[in-house]
């Protein structure tokens, strides 16, 4: 894991594949919105930093991050083929989210690649994220 922005938060866990989430939910009645704040997790199958930047910027411009208290990023790093387009992916994330002060943890164990752990990530439970020590704890029972 890698701390992109340190800190701790409590919120409801939600997210998924970044492009599917952005293109499929933004502007729809199905976009999750937790008034008490949420912890947004995402990964990307094969997008370059430039495209990730565009998806995150789209969410930012739509006001999506106003109710986000923390972020967990799974596998997403793909190299640009052309040298002049190469960007540091972590600096790109920080640049898009520079006006937000929530914890951001890079934990590349989940995503589309078959060699990843791909743990089950429940949608909706109240969780506590500690980006400083790389932990995420459920604060309530969620499976019935």
Residue 19: in which H helix or E strand, if any?
A: helix 18-25
**Which has the higher per-residue pLDDT, 21 or 47?**
21
Asked if residue 110 lies in contact with residue 74, where contact means CB atoms within 8 angstroms, the answer is yes
pLDDT one-digit tens code per residue, 57-102: 999 999 999 999 999 999 887 766 666 666 788 889 999 999 999 9
Query: pTM for the whole thing?
Result: 0.90
Residues 6+ apart with CB under 8 A from 116: 74, 75, 108, 109, 110
Positive or negative, the Cα torsion across 126, 18, 117, 94? Answer: negative
Mean pLDDT of the chain: 88
Residues 137, 32, 55: CA angle, nearest 5 degrees: 95
Q: What's the rounded Cα separation, in Å, for the pair 48 and 45?
A: 10
Nearest CA to 71 out of 18, 115, 141, 140 is that of: 18
Contact 39, 13 (CB under 8 A): yes
């Amino acid at each position: 894991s890698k701390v992109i922005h340190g800190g701790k938060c409590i919120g409801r866990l939600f997210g998924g594949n970044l492009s599917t989430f952005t293109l499929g939910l933004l502007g729809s009645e199905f976009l999750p919105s937790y008034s008490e704040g949420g912890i947004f997790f995402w990964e990307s199958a094969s997008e370059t930093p430039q495209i990730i930047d565009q998806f995150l910027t789209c969410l930012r411009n739509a006001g999506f991050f106003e109710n986000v208290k923390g972020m967990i990023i799974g596998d997403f790093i793909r190299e640009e083929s052309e040298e002049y387009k190469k960007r540091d992916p972590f600096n790109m994330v920080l640049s898009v989210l520079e006006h937000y002060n929530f914890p951001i943890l890079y934990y590349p164990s989940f995503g589309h690649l078959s060699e990843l752990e791909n743990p089950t990530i429940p949608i909706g439970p109240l969780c506590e994220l500690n980006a400083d020590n790389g932990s995420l704890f459920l604060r309530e029972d969620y499976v019935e």
